[in-house]
Amino acid sequence: MFKEIIQPRFNETDALGHINNTVLTQWFEGARDPIFKIFTPDLDTRQWRLILASISVQFKAELFYGLPVELRTAISRVGNSSFEVQQEAWQQGQCCAVGKAVLVQYDFAARQKIPLSAEQKVSLSAHLVSAS
């Protein structure tokens, strides 16, 4: 599991005084960089090998400006050409949001999915947790 602490920015709040719901997908995407590096170590987008097939966020509690947020990123499933990333946003000891993203290894030139290599599966499995 990868962990990252972020400080919410003032502009990420909404009129209700908490972090806007649209911000979580951005935070979660940024926290997927360690996963991206399994496929493209230097994050060179000209060599990119992944596409996002689906994403969901379940909100459990409000997140607030002025308090750090811990983003937790793990793998919950490894398939043949795709895998599922499970992410959580924690603030003050409480899980406030859970996200899931399905990523597919993709050949942009051929416009088709490609199988994960044995090495990639081992690297992903090193961060495997049970899906919640």
pLDDT digits 0-9 by tens, 31-43 = 999 999 999 999 9
Task: Report the percent of the chain where pLDDT is more than 70.
Answer: 98
The answer to whether residue 130 is domain-embedded is no
pLDDT more than 90, % of the chain: 90
Residue 117 inside a domain? The answer is yes
Look up the CATH number of the domain holding residue 82: 3.10.129.10
Q: What is the per-residue pLDDT for 118?
A: 97
Residue 131 lies in a domain: no
DSSP the chain: -EEEEE---GGGB-TTSSB-TTHHHHHHHHHTHHHHHHH-TT--GGG--EEEEEEEEEE-S---TTS-EEEEEEEEEE-SSEEEEEEEEEETTEEEEEEEEEEEEEETTTTEE-PPPHHHHHHHHTTB----
- Beta strand 2-6 with 112-113 is unpaired
pLDDT confidence of residue 39: 96
pLDDT of 113 > 90? The answer is: yes
* Per-residue pLDDT, 99: 97
C-alpha distances (whole Å) from 6 to each of 59, 78, 104 are 18, 27, 27
Q: What total number of domains does the chain contain?
A: 1
Task: Give the DSSP H/E element, type plus range, for residue 35.
Answer: helix 33-39
pLDDT at 121: 96
User: Using an 8 Å Cβ cutoff, are 56 and 132 in contact?
Assistant: no
Res 108 pLDDT > 80? yes
Supply the range of the domain harboring residue 44.
2-125
Q: Give domain status of residue 33, yes or no.
A: yes
pLDDT given at position 131: 58
Contact residues for 26 (Cβ-Cβ < 8 A; gap 6+): none
Confirm whether 55 is domain-assigned.
yes
